[in-house]
Each structure stands twice: as structure tokens, then as C-alpha cells.
Amino acid sequence: MSLFKACDWWAAVLGEGEEFDQGCLLNSSGHGLYKTVVGNYMGMLRVFSPHPAKPGEPGPQPATGGAARDPVIQVEVGKFFS
């Protein structure tokens, strides 16, 4: 699913005054599960599992997330090797 198609049925409003760059947003569809990963320059990282909203359901909530001491300048998914 493309980002533009997902925008037709899912959207999220993040915190006020947060700063982002083009490397701070990633859509992933591994194993048939769609995830949207968003990081910002304040160090917040959020992982959403987008799905069509049901009537009366609150706005999208992150599936997981956290805060880092340093800015998030880029997000990637995949296997990491050292």
C-alpha cells in the first residue's frame, strides 16, 4: 500500500512544535503487517499500526514508542548485522 493510499483512510496528529525531516518517516509492510515509523528532532520515536478507524474510536495511538536523549535524524527497518 502506498503512503498516498493510506492517507485516504488513516492520519495522525503528532505533538505541537515537533520538527521532522524526510528521513524521519518510514512505511514498512514486512510479513503483511503495515507499520509507520516516525521520529523527530526532539528524540521521540513512534511506531504506528495504521488501520481504518471505526466509528467512535479515538484517534490513532502509537503501537510503541520512546524518547531518546538525541534527535532522530533517520529511521530504517530490516535486519541489523554487526
Domain ranges of the chain: 3-67
Q: Does residue 38 surpass a pLDDT of 70?
A: yes
pLDDT given for residue 48 in this prediction: 82
SS3 per residue for 4-70: HHHHHHCCCCCCCCCCCCHHHEEEECHHHCCEEEEECCCCEEEEECCCCCCCCCCCCCCCEEEECCC
pTM passes above 0.85: no
pLDDT in tens, 2-34: 555 555 566 677 778 888 877 888 777 777 777
